[in-house]
Chains A and B, each alone.
Chain A
Amino acid sequence: MIHAVWLIPALPLAGFLVLLASGKKLGDPKAGYLATSAMAASFLVTVGVWIDLMGRHAEERRFEQDLFAWMPVGGLHVDIGFLVDPLSVTMALFVTGVGALIHLYAIGYMHGDGRYHQFFLYLNLFAFSMLMLVLSSSFLLTFLGWEGVGACSYFLISFWFERPSAATAGKKAFVINRVGDFGFMLAMFLIFATVGSLNYVPVLEEAGTLAKGTATAIALLLFVGAVGKSAQLPLYVWLPDAMEGPTPVSALIHAATMVTAGVFLMVRVNPILDAAPGVLTLIATVGALTALFAATIACAQNDIKKVLAYSTVSQLGYMFLAVGSGAYIAAIFHMVTHAFFKALLFLGAGSVIHGMHDEQDMKRMGALRKWMPVTSGTFIVGWLAIAGVPPFSGFWSKDDILLGAWEKNRLLWLIGLITALMTAYYMTRQVILVFYGKAQWGTAAAPAASRHDPGPSPGEAAAEPEHEPAASANGHGSAHGGGAHGEFKPHESPGTMAFPLVVLAALAALGGILKTPLEHWLEPVLAHPHHFTSSSSTKLGLIVVTTAAALAGLAIAYAIWAKRRVRESAVEPSLLQHAWYVDELYEALVWKPSRALANASAFIVDAKIIDGTVNGVGALVRAGGSRLRTVQSGFVRNYALAVAVGAVAILAYAVARTS
């Protein structure tokens, strides 16, 4: 079965090609079912490969399959090949599994959209790229997948490109990703220059023999790539804007899969990182700071998806903190649990938006527990998981990360702890605002007013909620509960949307049991096996402190939002609402100078200098010509004079020659 590993990316690719050719004919909902079946089949193959791999001994759990030579050029030899080992199989499992569930959800969510088949076409292409990324046997093939998910992210974020804010968000994501990709490319050049190969197996085996400076440079450049793709400081600004895309996109790409590619890459190259301890510290610091930074912003957002977006950035920060602390397996574990509960939260948010007829502002929701029981039940499970309440999955993974941080650096641990508190706080705030309290959507005026708000330009405050386009364009909303006339009632989502929610909720709740098996499973992937060195009493103490922090955050949120003990405006300063004005900062530091440079190049250098030079040559020739023209005066005596002068010149030459 392991030889069928090539089917894993091939099936979504086939789905993409079929939909490309005849997706329009298949239409809504057959195109969706086709895409979902491709993903489900891919998942089944992955499970088969996994079982096959498990059947081997721990040391032999590595299998390479080369399909064909892709770039045999001089000294560079790259094949289309797959590397099946515990890490890639783990990634493939949750990419295909969670991916299939999200495809299923999207069948109902995108119902009625004018370009329904195109959505699934892109989703399948994305799945193919992501699977190539994780299963590849070389840096270059991973980079292929890396760029592919970036491109698909662009397609999917700006799926509703008729909205200028969506189109801009797609461009922003792509451009900022590109900055990171540049680091990845430089790293590949360096690797090839020093090691002579781009395949993982030989490079990682040689990692121990690299010079310290080289290893540091490679690790740093790869980290730059990871920072771009996984939305860390300072390249995270594309992720909140990416919420312009449909919610299944946010769930799949910006919660579960694409953004984890950076973490995957770091874990994959752990031998190189181990050879560059300075970079590890940098990674941990950046991760911790990002986690804290994003969490502060999430505390003051009103858009239901924006909170989850910043939450994703924050949780990714945790993963990098784990990587930097050397606790690679903890990072992967958190990645897996995060995939479960973040996908769940996003899909739940999508369900809420769908049921609230495209309302996204949490301040206009409330008391939805009665109206959407399945959504709220599963959302609450997700909430408990992310907040780190035992025994849900998030608790176990976050705990491992904080233990690793404690052993690395106390300050980083403290930052992680504060972030855990804030995570609990803002998620509880979200749950209370959406599902509890008083309904803020009482009259029919409320949804209509929210619908024709134009989407604000990216970079502006998220206090203005962003809207997915008018319900009439997509069909979902007006057919159900009331529309703009009559009494507005939120409604629960259909079965295809509810089923994935339930499955993900179960995984989020029970995911903690994966902890120990995952540790054994992933050990062979690490060059230097990592063991926590603290005593069990320290571990226990840390668990208690972490849980206490989570519960404290919960309590604070309850006090502020449920009991209304503190004024709202006191806890939502405008600085946080505007995300620390980072977008404005980038605009001033990067966009304005670039624009000025572009204007200068276009209108000064090109129009004036270059055109001036070229035209000037012509003008010069013309001027010279018109001057020279006057020599031919028509007067014979002038010509005679010229002959005389010439004769004098010749005579002078003769004199000079004979003297």
Chain B
Amino acid sequence: MSVPGAWYLGLAAMLFTIGGVGLLVRRNVLIMFMCVELMLNAVNLTFVTYARMLNDIGGQVVVFFVLVVAAAEVVVGLAIIVSIFRRRADATADDVSLLRG
């Protein structure tokens, strides 16, 4: 007996939420980035589940693209993080707050 797709979707939703809350709560930029990856993975799982439930290969193709873009995003994002937080020992996301009102 196959597991109904709803379970996968529920799991993906919970994974997404955990990633989102982590993004809001953690201060370390690298960990924040990892939380974004969690959210992306949740989305990927959702797409694959839909591909199975709707019998559509397009869902898997989308995941392929999401994967690629996530990789590119990680590359560029980490490069930025490196360039900003290179010198500081304990820089967190709260330190770039010059644009305050």
Contact = CB atoms under 8 A, between A and B. Distances in A.
A–B direct touch, CB within 8 Å, in complex? yes
Interface of A: 629-637, 640-641, 644
Interface stretch (B49-57, B74-82, B93-101): B93-101
B13 to A, nearest CB: 11
A644 B99 contact: no
B93 A637 contact: yes
Interface hub of A631, A634, A644 (most chain B Cβ within 10 A): A634
A644 B35 CA distance: 14
Given A629-B101, A630-B101, A635 B94 contact: yes
Dominant SS at the B interface? loop
Given A637-B93, A637-B94, A632 B24 contact: no
Interface in B42-101: 93-94, 96-101
B93 A636 contact: yes
Nearest to A625: B101
Contacts of A644: 20, 24
Nearest to A628: B101
A640 B23 contact: yes
18 contacts: A630-B101, A631-B101, A632-B99, A633-B97, A633-B100, A633-B101, A634-B100, A634-B101, A635-B94, A635-B97, A635-B100, A636-B93, A636-B97, A637-B93, A637-B94, A640-B23, A641-B24, A644-B20
A637 B97 CA distance: 10
B27 A637 contact: yes
Nearest to B27: A637
Contacts of B99: 632, 634
For the complex of A and B, 7 pairs with smallest distance between CB atoms: A634-B100, A632-B101, A634-B97, A629-B101, A635-B97, A634-B99, A641-B24
A636 B100 CA distance: 10
A656 B54 CA distance: 26
A637 B24 contact: yes
Nearest to A645: B24
A633 B96 CA distance: 11
B100 A640 contact: no
A632 B98 CA distance: 10
Interface string B31-45: 000000000000000
B94 A640 contact: no
Nearest to A630: B101
B45 to A, nearest CB: 19
A379 to B, nearest CB: 91
B43 to A, nearest CB: 14
A644 B101 CA distance: 21
Nearest to B96: A636
Given A634-B96, A635-B93, A637-B93, 10 more contacts: A631-B101, A632-B99, A632-B101, A634-B97, A634-B100, A637-B24, A640-B23, A640-B24, A641-B24, A644-B20
